Amino acid sequence: MIIDTHAHAVFPQAISSYAADLVASRANPTAGPRQPITDEALHEIMARHIGNMDKVGTDWQIISPRPFMQLHSVDPAKVTQTWVKFNNDTIARQVAMFPDRIKGMAGLPQHRDYDLKPAIDELERAVTELGFVGCLLNPDPGEGGQLPPPGLGEDYWYPLYEKMVELDVPALVHSASSQHSRESYTLKFINEESIAAVSLTESTVFDDFPTLKLIIPHGGGALPYQMGRFHSWSIRRKQESTFLERLGKIWFDTTLYSEDALRLLFNVMGTDRLVFGTERPGTGSAPNPKTGRDFDDTKPTIETLLDAAGQKAVFEDNARTLFGDIF
């Protein structure tokens, strides 16, 4: 079984227009889309998406809101909350249409004012009422525009971690947009992942929450490639465990689009804490001139790099460990 743990929602255009309306009319953020979003429209676009999964042999996807469109740094916070909640509700409708192919992962209404309470409440609602199986966690809801909140190793995040542990759901650590034109949102994902992982390795988070499940996507940002640097840095500072041992408490996904990168990821990190992810359809949905396949069709590449046991772990078993026996 092939479980793709990292994918994002596909919605009809009318829903993007709603986002624009929300941003434009901030005084009245509770109004819904101009036209109601019909079941027919949602079904049509998701059926196409399922066809896209079939094309590359994916049995399941876990679907969350499009990260860059989460409006985390928009004022007032009510806009963010309205929008994220609407996203989750819409994904829940799609999951109900294809209950044997997709599962929902919640967006959280994190906001640049850093109040975590609405995010915690929405996580609880998404899991207990909508049946969602995890959440996105944005380490920089200010989207680069202000001083960021403390790193993921700091106790600012503990109330959210507590709720995740209580509900027994993992978070995919995924930033949203970037307010800096020099740093595209797609590169900010990568940089924030490195920051998140380093902050966690410097902390006692996994001593304080031994069952906390955090997934760093995109093959760990820069870290497996820059492993020697952090390994050495850790030895120079006479830390008790190695950098790799501390990274080993985090989960990572395989959302990388080249054979070289996947090979390095497997060599450096092994497969015990890796889950299959593609973000398809997304940044990698373009034909790779070298292979003829889409960049994000990475299953055939992984099959050439891992033995049967490694494939079973990455494609299926580790996802079951993380998300439970839900597939």
Decide if 265 contacts 220 (C-beta within 8 A). yes
Interacting positions 222-251 with its own copies (CB under 8 A): 222, 224-233, 235-236
119 near its own copies, judged by CB under 8 A: no
User: What are the φ/ψ torsions at residue 252 (nearest 5 degrees)?
Assistant: -135, 155
Could you tell me the smallest distance in angstroms from the CB atom of residue 248 to its own copies?
16
> Distance between CA atoms of 89 and 143, rounded to whole angstroms?
24
**3-state SS class at 280:** coil
Helix 117-128 vs helix 77-97: angle between axes, to the nearest 10 degrees? 10
Residues 6+ apart with CB under 8 A from 290: none
204 near its own copies, judged by CB under 8 A: no
Q: Which of 43, 167, 283, 317 binds its own copies (CB under 8 A)?
A: 283
Could you tell me the smallest distance in angstroms from the CB atom of residue 195 to its own copies?
5
Task: Print the binding letters for residues 130-159 with its own copies: x by CB under 8 A, - otherwise.
Answer: ---------x-----x-xx-xxxxx-----
Nearer of residues 50 and 261 to its own copies, judged by Cβ: 261
321 near its own copies, judged by CB under 8 A: no
Could you tell me the smallest distance in angstroms from the CB atom of residue 190 to its own copies?
5
Nearest to 71 by CA among 60, 85, 90: 85
> Active-site residue among 143, 193, 279, 316?
279
Could you tell me the smallest distance in angstroms from the CB atom of residue 256 to its own copies?
6
Q: Which of 96, 121, 191, 310 binds its own copies (CB under 8 A)?
A: 191
> Distance between CA atoms of 268 and 57, rounded to whole angstroms?
27
Interacting positions 7-66 with its own copies (CB under 8 A): none
Residue 240 a catalytic site member: no
DSSP states of 197-238 as a string? HHHHHTS-HHHH-TT--EEE-GGGTTTTTTHHHHHHHHHHTT
> Distance between CA atoms of 100 and 60, rounded to whole angstroms?
8
Question: What residues make contact with its own copies under the rule CB under 8 A?
Answer: 139, 145, 147-148, 150-154, 180-184, 186-187, 190-191, 194-195, 198-199, 218-219, 221-222, 224-233, 235-236, 256-258, 260-261, 263-264, 267-268, 283-289, 295-296
* Active site members: 279
